[in-house]
Amino acid sequence: MSEKPPLLETRNLQVSTWTKEGGEWRENQIVKGVSLKLEAGQVLGLIGESGAGKSTIGLAALLYGRGNCGISGGQVLLDGADITTLPEADKRQLRGRHIAYVAQSPAAAFNPAYRLEDQLLETSQLHNIMPRKEAHERMVSLFKQIGLPQPETFGRRFPHQASGGQLQRAMTTMALICHPRLIVFDEPTTALDVTTQLDVLAAIKRMIKGENTAALYISHDLAVVSQIADDILVLRHGKAVEAAQTMTLIETPREDYTRRLLSAGHTGKQTTPVADTEKPLLELRDVTAAYGDGEPVVCNVSVSLYRGRTLAVVGESGSGKSTMARVITGLLPPSGGNIIFDGKPLPPSLKMRNDKQARRIQMVHQTPDTALNPRQTIRAIIGRPLKLCLGLTGDAHEKRLRQLIEQVELDTELIERSPPQLSGGQKQRVAIARALATEPELIICDEVTSALDTLVAEGVLRLLMRLQRENNVSYLFITHDISTVRAIADEVAVMHNGLAIAVGAKDVVLNPPFDDYSAMLLSSVPEMRAGWLEEALAKRRMESAGH
Amino acid sequence: MKGGKRFPTAAAAGSAIIMLFVLLGIFAPLIAPYGESEFIGEAWEPISSQFWLGTDNLGRDMLSRLLYGARITIFIALAATMLSFFIGATGGLLAASQRGIVDSILSRTVDLLLAFPPLIFALVILSVLPSSTPILILVMAFLDFTRVFRVSYSSALSVITADFYEAAKLRREKTGYLLWREILPNVLPPLLAEFGLRFSFMILFLSSLSFLGLGVQPPSADWGSIVKENKDGIAFGILAPLIPAIAIATLAVSVNVVVDWVLNRVISGDKHG
């Protein structure tokens, strides 16, 4: 075995983009000399935050570069032969026959105008690998193995007729049809709900083992990668930080950066129970809400939030948690029930509330890119509510503005910049400062960390907790991520299909005894230890057998 | 646009021609060799050192007519475009941001106006109303604002679903601020490009109206009127009607070329910014 060259090897791989500045082409290196080895039948996990170059390396293995991006140095070897120098036609053959790709967003990767089978069988037909009939048979048998419903007819569906998890399985099937020797998975489960992620992850793992295919598995989530990869390569700013066997890396990381990645999300807030005498700041009583005349999206939800505390609302997509936020802010008047704020009923719609009532509740949104007006400066974005809501002008305005920027741990030099010149984490901090500017008592945080990198997200969470201690503000914290809940919540509400299934103190809701859904949700959260995936699956099977 | 010239030749030539026409129009009384409606020669005299572009059907100097015509044409087209933008953008942004009943009324009214062919509608209105320049501008703007309304409405819809608009609503901004400070800066690029297109359309629209006799009234003349006055010359092989027609075409094409360039820059600028 030792004489045989590895299936895929990169030697000092460099990938660059070129941009034109002042009439001259300037090179910008994204991948700065990365060497990796992948043996046949093995899975190598590539881990890193955004900008680490992990997707770029994945695409370089397919000899493909996005936009102006291309391999600028080093070698990519398949079976010991350099493939970077192949003519374009041979590269195409290579992509069709030997190396396949599974993209992050299944909804965007499939063409909505064609049936799935036409897209799945295209590669085999284009490269004349096997007759269509044979390819179709293989597709159906792969559908069966990967656990798709009605495998004989599933391929007749259009992409919109399948769920996200099903599409991701279909895409894995597409990659497997031509018996590739290597598959590049680019964050295949990131866009999925946590309970779906578990199934898809298990399906991918089973298929790779069953077909004895090698894989490059790209992810930002160490816990996910540790379930599937034999080896892990940690990347940062286009350079390799650390490479090791999965268990070695998790148990004895050598580098400081790896250690920080491993410990992210493990901070837990100590909570004390609410005093019996305390009145809730916000109370929802049997609130029901629907869009138009449709089915209610939120059904009879009753929750309470106390001053200076955090209520985490947890649930998967479609569970009604963001709708609940819209109801509280008055953007969507509820069709039933009452909202009590500070002991008084709150008018249902924003238009009916007075300025003071409205400004006591502010919101921080999920996507920092759309949360700030791209054509205003940071000064205007944070300064405007100070002027409008507090009537500050002149020196007092300037002083408070700078104070707020320092409070969210930003450099006051950023004050004249506009949002496109800031990073994601900086933008989210500006959004938090804007929400704080009206001096609200309640801030609704709608998935504020889900668009951010692991370490950046942790910084934002820590900032939110500090601000809560300093300003005694309450948070309604909407999230799908259980580790975020552990980090920040005092009380928890678990939402499922518009119902609040479990409501109570964090220690009560997140510890047994569980109701069925909470149990499934909690057991689906990936844990960073060997064999977790199999355990979780076995547990789920036992539970469903028990009913 | 990567690697392209910073200011392509076509756009440079286009803006130079527009500038030239504007300057010629503004300084027409100083430059023109003769008065606007001064009879100084025979009908349709050929090009000569005395009459650089010949004379028109009544023996007036074509060059002088053309220079004064530039003034009238550009002024009316610009005024009508600006008015049309003011009405259209305000209405579009208002309808998009208010939704509900305001949206229904404004949008359905615009649909109704869009159902009429503008030229025929203009002919009907203008033949009823007394003919004067302000009325002409008003009617042209009224018929054209529907297009601006559509563009600003659809661009604004993408802004009002953005989170920063929601944030502004949550701190109770007034409608004026929402329209002019939150929405307008974000819909300005498409509106700017539309402005150029509408302006070139206005030049053609005015020329058509004048050609049909409902635009600028004699003895003043815009370029369309000059074509009309001299149209019979075509039968005798006279160049006179072609000269103002070439002027109309040149200006319209120049505006379009510049708009194309602006549009390209806006799109690539958005990607990089």
Question: Which positions in chain B touch A438 (Cβ < 8 Å)?
Answer: 171
- Give the closest residue to A244 by CA, choosing from A449, A47, A468: A47
pLDDT band, residue A476 (cuts 50/70/90):
very high
Residue B3 has pLDDT above 90, yes or no: no
Q: Do A373 and B182 touch (CB under 8 A)?
A: yes
Supply the pLDDT for residue B1. Answer: 40
Under a CB-based contact definition with an 8 Å cutoff, are residues A212 and A43 in contact?
A: no
Residue A466 has pLDDT above 60, yes or no: yes
Taking an 8 Å Cβ-Cβ cutoff, which residues of chain A contact chain B?
A: 20, 68, 329, 331, 350, 355, 358-359, 361-363, 365-367, 370-376, 384-385, 388-389, 420, 431, 434-435, 438
Who among A329, A366, A374 is closest to B170 (CB)?
A329
CA–CA distance, A278 with B203 (Å, rounded to integer): 72
CB atoms within 10 A of CB B120: 9
Q: Do A20 and B166 touch (CB under 8 A)?
A: no
Q: Do A388 and B172 touch (CB under 8 A)?
A: yes
Tell whether B99 is within 8 A of chain A (Cβ).
no
Supply the pLDDT for residue A461. Answer: 92
Residue type, A547: H
Tell whether B270 is within 8 A of chain A (Cβ).
no
Question: Which positions in chain B touch A388 (Cβ < 8 Å)?
Answer: 171-173
Q: Do A350 and B171 touch (CB under 8 A)?
A: no
pLDDT band, residue A423 (cuts 50/70/90):
confident
CB within 8 Å of chain A, chain B residues 138-177: 162-164, 166-167, 169-173
Supply the pLDDT for residue B101. Answer: 92
Q: What is the 3-state secondary structure (H, E, C) of A405-455?
A: HHHCCCCHHHHHCCHHHCCHHHHHHHHHHHHHHCCCCEEEEECCCCCCCHH
Question: Which positions in chain B touch A389 (Cβ < 8 Å)?
Answer: 171-172
Give the H/E segment covering residue A22. Answer: none
Who among B162, B163, B169 is closest to A350 (CB)?
B169
Give A469-496 as a DSSP string: HHH--EEEEEES-HHHHHHH-SEEEEEE
The residue ranking higher by pLDDT, B4 or B221, is B221
Supply the pLDDT for residue A546. Answer: 62
The residue ranking higher by pLDDT, A46 or B131, is A46
**Residue B230: strand pairing partners:** none
Residue B196 has pLDDT above 50, yes or no: yes
Residue A547 has pLDDT above 60, yes or no: no
Three-state SS at A35: strand
The 10s digit of each residue's pLDDT in A178-216 is: 889 999 999 888 878 888 888 888 888 988 888 888 999
Taking residues B40-50, report their average pLDDT.
86
CA–CA distance, A241 with A234 (Å, rounded to integer): 5
Residue A412 has pLDDT above 60, yes or no: yes
Question: Which positions in chain B touch A370 (Cβ < 8 Å)?
Answer: 162-164
pTM above 0.90, yes or no: no
Q: Do B164 and A20 touch (CB under 8 A)?
A: no
Supply the pLDDT for residue B220. Answer: 87
Taking residues A322-341, report their average pLDDT.
92
Residue A361 has pLDDT above 70, yes or no: yes
Q: Is residue B35 classed exposed, middle or buried when 0-12, 13-18 and 19+ CB atoms within 10 A define those classes? A: middle
Question: Which positions in chain B touch A350 (Cβ < 8 Å)?
Answer: 169-170
Taking residues A170-180, report their average pLDDT.
90
Question: Which positions in chain B touch A20 (Cβ < 8 Å)?
Answer: 2-3
The 10s digit of each residue's pLDDT in A287-328 is: 999 988 888 899 999 999 999 999 999 988 888 888 999 999
**Across the beta sheet with A474-479, what order do the strands follow?**
A361-364, A442-446, A474-479, A310-314, A491-496, A499-505
Q: Tell me the CB-side half-sphere exposure of residue B76, using CA atoms within 13 A.
A: 32
Taking residues A408-436, report their average pLDDT.
91
Residue B120 has pLDDT above 50, yes or no: yes
Question: Which positions in chain B touch A366 (Cβ < 8 Å)?
Answer: 163
pLDDT band, residue A22 (cuts 50/70/90):
low
- Give the closest residue to A319 by CA, choosing from A521, A457, A487: A521
Range of weakest confidence among A252-261, A487-496, A526-535, B22-31: A526-535
CA–CA distance, A244 with A234 (Å, rounded to integer): 9
Residue A267 has pLDDT above 70, yes or no: no
Who among A358, A370, A420 is closest to B172 (CB)?
A358
**Helix, strand, coil percentages, rounded to 5, for chain B:** 75, 0, 25
Q: What is the 3-state secondary structure (H, E, C) of B119-170?
A: HHHHHHHHHHCCCCHHHHHHHHHHHHHHHHHHHHHHHHHHHHCCHHHHHHHH
Residue A339 has pLDDT above 90, yes or no: yes
Q: Do B185 and A363 touch (CB under 8 A)?
A: no
Three-state SS at B94: helix
Share the mean pLDDT of chain A: 88
Question: Which positions in chain A touch B170 (Cβ < 8 Å)?
Answer: 329, 331, 350, 358-359, 361-363
CB pairs under 8 A between A and B: 58
Q: Do B172 and A362 touch (CB under 8 A)?
A: no
Give the H/E segment covering residue A410. Answer: none
Q: Do A20 and B186 touch (CB under 8 A)?
A: no
Q: Do A388 and B170 touch (CB under 8 A)?
A: no
Report the share of chain A in percent with pLDDT over 90: 41
pLDDT band, residue B268 (cuts 50/70/90):
low
Supply the pLDDT for residue A531. Answer: 81
Range of weakest confidence among A249-263, A490-504, A519-533: A519-533
Residue A51 has pLDDT above 50, yes or no: yes
In chain B the first and final C-alpha atoms are separated, in Å, by: 14
Q: Do A358 and B181 touch (CB under 8 A)?
A: no
User: A349 CA to chain B: closest CA distance, Å?
Assistant: 11
User: B182 CA to chain A: closest CA distance, Å?
Assistant: 7
Question: Which positions in chain A touch B173 (Cβ < 8 Å)?
Answer: 388
The 10s digit of each residue's pLDDT in B59-113 is: 899 999 999 999 999 999 999 999 999 999 999 999 998 888 999 999 999 999 9
CB within 8 Å of chain A, chain B residues 179-208: 181-182, 185-186
Who among A367, A371, A389 is closest to B167 (CB)?
A371
A232: left (phi over 0), alpha (psi -120 to 50) or beta: beta
Phi, psi of A45 (to 5 degrees): -90, 130
Who among B2, B172, B185 is closest to A359 (CB)?
B172
Tell whether B108 is within 8 A of chain A (Cβ).
no
